[in-house]
Structure 1
């Protein structure tokens, strides 16, 4: 069963699991499960994807209940009025601890001319583990929050690889040796990128809505193992917030 984060007559938001394809395409196998098919087994009526997440990425995903609603939400994504916040674990400790990655990227599937792509990031916590790898006796990793201003294909993954702090578990743009380390020592077999929060304007009510998605078991184990609990709790409130009425809005930490 998919975790439904929000549902009304116009919109459904789910917490997409990692390694679940959103919809059928030529890039996934014919026997694989698809989020949109699974959701249709839980929710009555027509469903239309309002945006997409990479198969390997988890977190908040919006689904519209009509073509008109999908179009209205799509216009917000295209107009860059949707606020997206991701959590990631990266190799090394980004320095400076807060900054902006401004690096043009090509279009979908790495084709076409490069277009502007910008991601703001902030380092939330760090850890050093006593596991030898290569010429280093200890390995450094960081918990970061990333807020992309644009929405290019695999933007966050490519941007952190560009600054030499690839996301752990990224098989395309990351470091295989560090990915294997997390599999062998921390039982982490996924890309450590999570769409934690999405804020948009409800096309019908015109209220700003903020939806947050909880971390899965792999994430929670790592947060506990690396003593990152305080850093995560200071950022994540969870649930749904109607910022116009105040319903579900937690007080800031």
Structure 2
């Protein structure tokens, strides 16, 4: 196995394993990616030389912690926590503009064309702000913020759609974002990815009453470099992991 395919293992016991998913890596093979032959599921199977079972998913461009079951029963037991919304998910996200210090987005989302919108709620807490001396659109400088984001429901592209809804688009989002700010980050910050990272995942331990699986995934070197270019110290984002 080549070094660049190696996955960082964040947690492992007899029933579960959690790894750090790189950005721009699909979870598994699908009809919409027929020509892609590199997937998180297969990488992990190759690395630990055994079958694993998906518990939840991250979008292709999103990095961060992903939990797998090491057997089908374990995966089903962990999935039950998502079904009853007993999972605490915390993301780090970079958005355009300076949102309020904290807030809630309560806005139903349509997951599939032709279907009714489903309830969706996301909260955020602002961790840091930055202003870059670069012209974007009609403004002479550009403002950005680092947020800790908690989706309280699990709709498709929920975080990306919700921050589009309030006009604080996620940087690097080519589907729901702002192309002008995406270009600015590519040109001035050497950032070519979606700035969304699943930093922490907490859920009840399915096989130990009263215990919690608390899975933490620090940002990778690429994301930390972007934070540093924006003048954000580790102390400003590391509290999400504590």
TM-score normalised by length of structure 2: 0.94
Q: 1:115 aligns with which of 100, 113, 118?
A: 118
Matched residues in 2 for 1:90 and 1:11: separation?
Answer: 33
- Pairwise CA RMSD: 1.2
TM-aligned CA deviation for residue 111 of structure 1: 5.1
Match of 2:3?
none
1:126 to 104, 129, 140: 129
Structure 1 residue 217 displacement after superposition: 1.8
> Where has structure 1 moved over 2 Å in runs of 4 or more?
29-32, 233-237
Distance (Å, rounded) in 2 between the aligned partners of 1:82 and 1:102: 18
Preserved CA contact (<8 Å) 1:50 1:74: yes
The 3-state SS of whatever aligns with 1:27 is helix
Shift of 1:236: 2.7
Residues 1-253 of structure 1: matches in 2 within 5 Å? Answer: 1-94=6-99, 96-107=100-111, 109-110=112-113, 112-206=115-209, 207-229=211-233, 230-237=235-242
* CA displacement at 1:110 relative to structure 2: 4.9
Inter-partner Cα distance in structure 2 for 1:150 and 1:111:
21
Q: CA deviation at 1:233?
A: 2.8
Q: How many residues align?
A: 235
1:135-178: CA deviations, max 9, x gaps?
Answer: 11100000001001100000000000000000000000001111
Task: Name the SS for the 2:33 alignment partner.
Answer: coil
Contact 1:110 1:153 in 2 (8 A): no
- State TM-score, norm by structure 1: 0.90
